[in-house]
Amino acid sequence: MPLFGRDAELKALVELFDGVGHRSGVLVQGEAGVGKSALVAEAVSAASAAGLRVLTTTGVEAEQDLAYAGLHQLLYPVRAGVDALPAPQRDALRGALGLGDAAEPSVYLVGLPTLTLLAEAAAVRPLLVVAEDVHWLDRASADILAFVARRIESEPIVMVATIREGERSPVQDAGLSPMPVDRLSDKVAAELLDSIAPGLTPAVRARLLEEAAGNPLALIELPAAMGGQDGLGPALPLSERLERAFTARVAGLPAPTRTALLVAALNQSDSVSETLAATGLILGSVAGLEILAPAVEVRLVELGIDVVRFRHPLMRSAIPAASALAERRQAHLALAETLREQPDRRAWHRAAATAGADEGVAAELDRAAAQARHRGGVAAAVAALEQAARLSEGLDRKAVRLLRAAELAVESGSRGTAERLVRDAQALGLSPRRRATAAWLLSGFEDGVREDVSRVPELAELAASVAADGHVEPAVRILWGAAMRCFWSEPGPAARRSLLGVADRLPVPADDPRMVAVAAYVAPFERGDAVLDGLRKLAGAAGADPEVDRYLGSAALQVGAFDLAARFSAAAAPGLRAQGRLGLLPRALAVQAWSRARLGDLATALPIAAEAAGFAQETGQPFMYGLATAVQAEVAALRGDHEQARTLADVAERVALPAGARPVLATVQLARGLAALSEGRFDDAFAALSRILDPADPAYQLALRAYCLAELTEAAVRAGRTDTMRDILHDLEPLAASTPSPALHIGLRYARAVLAPNEEAEELFTAALRADLTGWPAERGRLHLAFGEWLRRQRRAAESRTHLRTARETFDALGMAAWGERARRELRSAGESSPNRDPDAREKLTPHELSIAQLAAEGLTNREIGQRLYLSHRTVGTHLHRIFPKLGVSSRADLARMLETLEQRSSR
């Protein structure tokens, strides 16, 4: 049948195929029956004619709870390539597809081999990936498709996906261009109807056109269902009208065919052999293919090699809806009997056939959940546990399963599902321990940022109560959730003291990494000495456990040990990458970038911050995205790109302000203050940086407020606010007496020297420069600049030039353009000219390119870089082909030498 009224959409799809390798694809959106599948079918024909290979998968409502069912369908034609994948990728993919025994592979660990497999296939022949009805794909497969869609722009791969209007899927947020498909115009609708049902009476034709309202499937299906002018009855919602049209056609089929159709509709597979075997059990005799022939004749289904497919998803849902409950139960039981060798699918069919409590079926679903979890299908495991809870015998078993499901929902980021499951469990009358579990479970979302800070003392009491009952590990987890709130929000000193009291009473060693981190979050200054001592002892074990390294990195940031924060976070990242834990990875990367930026290592901070922002956005972590974006704003300000700094700071603030995410807002004000300083807007700089220290301001953050003293002091002096700055120092001095925080003491030494009277300044500057600033080049450069400026004002130009020259060279090497220009101006005033600074080769690259270049310079192959950054190795090669000409190098060896030279200059 020709396609009516879709010339523009088809033209756009054909153009997409012509540009394969430059665009990722489209998401075709429209209501049921509007012709999405017909349009895609035409597009597939055009793609095949253009020489593209086509791989397809189709979401089926009955398969939504079968982990990776859609991915299995997509990759089946290229399955031979799985064995050629690198071992970690091969094992993860085989485990996800149920072909091996890899335990709990994450979506991202499965996504990378999927991308690699598709890229390898596309290298032989450009590839079209078609994913129909993505709203019905199982969540794991949908996540994989979204992962792939984000990463194929440079590959000879294009994706076309379809989704029903009003439905949701992770694929919607994967960067595919939306292609809305609307109803047909009146003129085109009439042409389509006349081609389907010529010779209708004018009254019937008018009624059909009115009822169909431009919906192509309705125009095709309704004529067969309409016996006369009033055959359709009163107007109904479109999908209901179509379902009635389908069921009207089913009603005229032989009874055995109706039974087979019901079984096929309820089956979680398109397998003809399964459908016929189950149908035979119901009929009590062998069922052959001929039983489906009447359904094929009336265009309800299509038959292939061991495949039976409904011509439209509505047909699959209409048939069970129109059948009796007893008939559906009988069909499910027959399928369960047929699927004895597939216990997961058997459990679902038995559950569907069970009305009341049945602990045997619930136990089967428990095992199905465990298997889904083992394969990385968290959403499928949640669904199985929730169904098992429905069938559980006894309230306690029901509650346990609901809370287990809620815990997995938290892990997968499904907040609405987790909240509903927790509410259902709480309504059952829980034991004290179960109540505690329910109370802290939801704390896993966004570290409690959106919760009222009054929850912090409540959580402290809960942790104490749980510990008193002898449940130490749950108490530690609750305490950890409360401590995280002290980072993102400000609960006040009383709440912090209550948390410390609980922590001190827990029977857990003080040097346990978790307790060190809790102390850092809750009392970064009061416990700073003990925390730093613990961190330095634990640094020797960095790299052993990436999750421990991740939160120790964040703890080190709290106490101003940015060098340790960068070290722990850098140690965490490889393990988190290898495990595919992209939920935790942006947290480690954001802390690493924040610390590196504060240390002045902009070349390292920038690509890490960009990667953290990308992964945070991809994994649905808005506040980590905001923090990483704010760090990018800070780096832009330090590099002198003030417009970019303002843009990024505004983006980060929009994310953080509604929820009051204080670390993000503090970093935003830091970036704005730095930009204003370098532009000479000193009043603005002082105002922005002062906000971080004001407890009434949403940008106030207890720990971070003490770590920008050098910038704040400089702004105060130049804005004529030295008295105000002295008052600020007076308030902060007691903190220095309680903690050896490196950042705090470095900042205080700088501020004391800059604010000192002339007779004391030189001694203070000299003492500050004698302090150990290894690994803190930006702070060393600031001291040299400030000392050189002071010496010049004292008319000691010759002495000033030494310090100003050192400052200029330091800032040039670090890429801190605005500060380098200041050093140049001071040197000119001191009688010495400076050569113009040529842009650092690294500044010619995008953050993404810089990350790839640095890894290539370290000697990693394209495949290894791809595994590290979750890209295909072919995409990495494409980027390197762009990078080499930008830097004027022709080989990896040249690239390594260039970057090594630049790195040495930066670290001097």
Nearest to 72 by CA among 261, 268, 315: 268
Query: What gap in Å lies between CA 206 and CA 708, rounded to an integer?
Result: 74
Answer for the pair 825, 808: CB distance below 8 angstroms, yes or no. Answer: no
Q: How far is CA 789 from the centre of its chain?
A: 47
Q: Is 80 exposed, middle or buried (0-12, 13-18, 19+ CB in 10 A)?
A: exposed
Q: How far apart are CA 501 and CA 482, in angstroms?
A: 13
Residue 866 makes CB contacts below 8 A (sequence gap 6+) with 112, 116, 872, 873, 875, 876
In degrees rounded to 5, what are phi and psi of residue 897? -65, -40
CA–CA separation, 579 vs 108, rounded Å? 9
In 3D space, the residue among 265, 245, 256, 325 whose CA is nearest the CA of residue 286 turns out to be 256
User: Position 207: which residue type?
Assistant: R
CA distance to 13, 21, 872, per residue, from 156 (Å): 15, 4, 12
Residue 885, CA distances (Å) to 815, 877, 878 in order: 21, 13, 12
- If phi > 0 it is left, if psi is from -120 to 50 it is alpha, else beta; for residue 132 that is beta
Backbone angles phi, psi at 694, to 5 degrees: -95, 110
Indicate the SS3 state at residue 535: helix
HSE of 372 in the Cβ direction (CA atoms, 13 Å)? 32
- Are 263 and 353 in contact by the 8 Å Cβ rule? The answer is no
The H or E element containing residue 16 is: helix 7-18
What confidence score (pLDDT) does residue 229 get? 44
Scanning 561-693, the segments in alpha helix (DSSP H) are 562-578, 585-599, 602-618, 622-638, 642-656, 662-678, 682-690
Rounded Cα distance between 825 and 812, Å, is 14
Helix H or strand E segment including 497? helix 493-505
Q: What end-to-end distance do the CA atoms of the chain give, in Å?
A: 73
CA–CA gap between residue 597 and residue 565 (Å, rounded): 12
- C-alpha 827/C-alpha 790 separation (Å) is 12
- Paired sense of beta strands 157-164 and 127-132, if any: parallel
Q: Packing angle between helix 758-770 and helix 777-793, nearest 10 degrees?
A: 150
Query: One-letter amino acid identity for 755?
Result: L
**371 and 344 Cβ atoms separated by less than 8 Å:** yes
Position 21 scores a pLDDT of: 62
Phi/psi of residue 30, each to 5°? 175, 170
Calpha distance 840→602 (Å, rounded): 12
Position 264 scores a pLDDT of 93
Question: From CA 613, how far away is CA 232, in angstroms rounded?
Answer: 54
Pairing of strands 301-304, 177-180: unpaired
Going by DSSP bridges, is the β-strand pair 307-310/301-304 parallel, antiparallel, or unpaired? Answer: antiparallel
659-693 b/e with 16+ CB inside 10 Å = b? Answer: bbbbbbbbbbbbbbbbbbbbeebbebbbbbbbbbb
> What pLDDT was estimated at residue 377?
84
- Please give the pLDDT value at position 237: 67
Average pLDDT value over all residues in the chain: 89
Residue with tokens 């001291």: 783
Q: Three-state SS for 227?
A: coil
Q: Which two tokens stand for residue 7?
A: 């010339």
Helices (H), 657-796: 662-678, 682-690, 709-718, 722-738, 742-755, 758-770, 777-793
Structure tokens belonging to residue 654: 């929009």
Which residues of the chain fall below pLDDT 70? 1, 19, 21-22, 102-104, 225-238, 443-446, 837-841, 903-908
DSSP secondary structure letter of residue 446: G
At residue 53's C-alpha, the angle toward residues 51 and 59, to 5°, is 140
Confidence (pLDDT) at 872: 85
| DSSP code at position 659 | G
